[in-house]
Amino acid sequence: MKLPQIINSLLETDLYKFSMGMTIYHQFPSYRTTWTFKCRNTDVHFTEEMVEEIREQIKAYCDIKFTEEELNYLKKIKWLKEDYVDFLRLWHPRFEDFEINDDAECGLSIEAKGTWVNSSMYEIPTLAIVNEVYFRMAYDYDELMDSFKEKLSEKCRRISENSVHLGTFSEFGLRRRLSGEAQELAVKKINEAVKGSGSSFIGTSNVYLAKKYNLTPVGTMAHEYIMCVGQGDNKHNAAYSNWYALNAWIREYSVLNGIALTDTVTTDIFLRDFQLTFATMFNGVRHDSGDPYEWGEKMIKHYESLGIDPKTKSLLFSDSLDFDKASALYDHFSDRIKVAFGIGTYISNDTKVKALNIVMKTTECNGHPVAKISDTPGKGMCKDPSYVDYLTRTLDWRLNHE
């Protein structure tokens, strides 16, 4: 490796990988998945030198194991069961599960295949490695850090002076961070800036940083969970993906760890399944695509239609937020429902150059395609257009015939 090792702890991932991971371990241990990397920036190219560095960094990541201190920390998370933590004592990434090449349109191709309980854990560290390698090797990193620090100082000033109203918010930027150094600095400085302000910084999705700074680790489920639970079994009707996924989640956690993601196969379909039992047991819902104001109004109306007081529930916004967008949403909704924000790239990779728009998505489960049909056209990713067409037709049929 030419660069310092980027991932140095298996806690350096988003919390929802553990909450989903425990559900997978208990209920779907035989499921197998394929994960595919994609760079959405059309003007970005990874050189052969970058690809080789990414390969070596991933290989180094695969040599890490959990320490007893880290496992003891995970045991303190009230909804993680001891048998799953004991499994993690034996678990570590497998480099053999990765295929890393330099023959893609952007110069970088990555696929990871294996059991879902394994391959799910690879997404976040892989994206963090790709980001940091790219920005350290494509630019003058010191100049980027200088611009990052300058912008971070301005963010902290706005928080401390109450020029933005963020209510309750957390940092979600691990997968697209400039570097581990940048993310840690942002978490530390923002946690200091909120003291005495009108905003509340409750934590970070990065479990390693949450442990280090005694913050709350934040996260519940991602699209992969609903896609694979709902579409990974051929006996399931994919139009009911949300029902299968939420039902399994309730079996795992009951009323704990309860923020549901709404847009895997569109929010309109989600609401068909998010009826009284689920709506009561889940603490709230997360927004990740589509117009956030339309979505929020729709969710408030839905809770009211079920006889549930919206003020007892939470809206968690997490789609491409900055402080101004979050502050405006807070002002719009906070007197009618609890509002929280997960803010990612704007905190962890705001520099003088454009951030990468990279993803690593589940493209197959148990040997056949899976897909996301979000509230924003184009956010989905599937290798098989015919499956996307099939899924779209099943969703349309349900909307028009139920």
DSSP string, 180-241: HHHHHHHHHHHHHHTTTSS-EEEEESBHHHHHHTT-EE-----HHHHHHHHHSSTTS-GGGH
Structure tokens at 59: 């290989």
Gyration radius of the chain over CA positions: 20
pTM for the full predicted model:
0.96
What pLDDT is stored for residue 263 in this prediction? 96
pLDDT digits (tens, 9 = 90+) for 227-271: 999 999 989 999 999 999 999 999 999 999 899 999 999 999 999
What is residue 340's three-state secondary structure? strand
CA distance linking residue 129 with residue 106, whole number of Å: 16
Q: For helices 180-193 and 141-160, what crossing angle results, to 10°? A: 20
Domains annotated for the chain, with CATH where assigned, are: 16-139+357-384 (3.20.140.10), 141-348 (3.20.140.10)
Which pLDDT does position 382 carry in this prediction?
A: 86
Write the CB contacts of 271 (distance below 8 Å, at least 6 apart in sequence).
262, 298, 302
Instruction: Extract the tokens encoding 185.
Output: 């600095």
């045991």: which residue's tokens? 75
Helix (H, G, I), strand (E, B) or coil at 307: coil
Are residues 204 and 192 in contact, defined by beta-carbon separation less than 8 angstroms? no
Best CA proximity match to 331, nearest among 317, 343, 344, 350: 317
**Angle separating helix axes 223-231 and 16-27, nearest 10 degrees:** 20
Residue given tokens 């927004």 in the structure block: 287
Q: Are 355 and 43 in contact (CB under 8 A)?
A: no
Residues of the chain with pLDDT under 50: none
| First-to-last C-alpha distance (Å) of the chain | 56
CA distance 239 to 257: 24
The pLDDT score that the predictor gives to residue 379 is 74
Query: What pLDDT shows up at residue 402?
Result: 82
Nearest to 16 by CA among 77, 95, 57, 90: 77
* Site of tokens 């519940």: 220
